[in-house]
């Protein structure tokens, strides 16, 4: 009887590990594709869908993008379910939700703000996990030190367009309006 109680107690405290494949976390970006103009700022949300049976206590990811096309304008804004924590690689993509963890669909991990800097380019924004970095991955409830499977294959495709140039018809219309105004002003000056 005492052994049964001990086993139940250990299970409830999370000391018994679940198989690593029991939880799968999927990351995604919103929007997954966007067209922006050179010089404009835009935001991309990094989201995760977390199985309700295995809450995430902490996470850390690497951020990837071509910094010759777009520029990160500040530190990532970590989602409201998480507490931001420092990262060794400097990209600031990490959060904790201890002791209860977080589950759900499209949970906001972070909001990233970028500025478009090079026209006529397509840039992919992605996240990844460096296997040798002990601070990256999704740490879940269960036995201590357990990271879970994660699908991080989604990306965001950002197309950077040049600033719009006024159409020739618009310029001709503007020039005609200016000439008309100048003629009216000259006519008023001659009549006085």
Asked if residue 164 has pLDDT above 60, the reply is: yes
Task: Indicate the pLDDT class of residue 145, thresholds 50, 70 and 90.
Answer: low
Structure tokens, 113: 């703000």
| Rounded Cα–Cα distance for residues 156 and 158 (Å) | 6
The radius of gyration of the chain from alpha carbons, rounded to an integer in Å, stands at 27
State residue 22's pLDDT score.
45
State residue 174's pLDDT score.
78
State residue 166's pLDDT score.
63
Alpha helices (H) along the chain: 2-12, 168-191
73 touches 44 (CB < 8 A)? no
pLDDT for 12-67, tens place per residue? 333 333 444 444 799 999 999 999 999 999 999 999 999 888 899 999 999 999 99
pLDDT for 59-105, tens place per residue? 999 999 999 999 999 999 999 999 999 888 878 899 999 888 999 99
Give the pLDDT mean for 116-140: 89
Task: Give the predicted TM-score (pTM) of the model.
Answer: 0.73
Asked if residue 167 has pLDDT above 50, the reply is: yes
Task: Indicate the pLDDT class of residue 192, thresholds 50, 70 and 90.
Answer: low
Of 68, 24, 64, which is closest to residue 44 (Cα–Cα)? 64
Q: Which residue has the higher pLDDT, 4 or 115?
A: 115
Give me the chain's average pLDDT, please: 81
Q: Provide the CATH topology of domain 2-166.
A: Immunoglobulin-like (2.60.40)
State residue 4's pLDDT score.
33
| Rounded Cα–Cα distance for residues 57 and 43 (Å) | 25
How many other CB atoms are there within 10 angstroms of residue 87's CB atom? Answer: 18
Q: Show me where the domains of the chain are located.
A: 2-166
């Amino acid at each position: 009887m005492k052994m049964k109680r001990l086993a139940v107690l250990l299970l409830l405290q999370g000391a018994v590990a679940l198989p690593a494949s029991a939880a799968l976390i999927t990351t995604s970006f919103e929007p997954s594709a966007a067209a922006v103009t050179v010089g404009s700022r835009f935001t991309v949300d990094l989201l995760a869908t977390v199985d309700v049976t295995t809450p995430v206590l902490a996470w850390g990811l690497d951020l990837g993008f071509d910094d010759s096309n777009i520029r990160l304008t500040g530190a990532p804004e970590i989602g409201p379910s998480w507490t931001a924590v420092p990262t060794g690689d400097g990209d600031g993509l990490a959060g904790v939700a201890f002791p209860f963890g977080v589950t759900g669909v499209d949970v906001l991990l972070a909001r990233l703000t970028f500025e478009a800097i090079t026209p006529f380019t397509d840039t992919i924004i992605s996240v990844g996990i460096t296997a040798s970095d002990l601070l990256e991955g999704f740490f879940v409830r269960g036995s201590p030190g357990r990271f879970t499977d994660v699908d991080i294959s989604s990306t965001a495709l950002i197309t950077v367009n040049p600033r719009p140039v006024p159409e020739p018809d618009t310029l001709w219309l503007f020039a005609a309006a200016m000439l008309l105004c100048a003629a009216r002003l000259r006519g008023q000056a001659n009549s006085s």
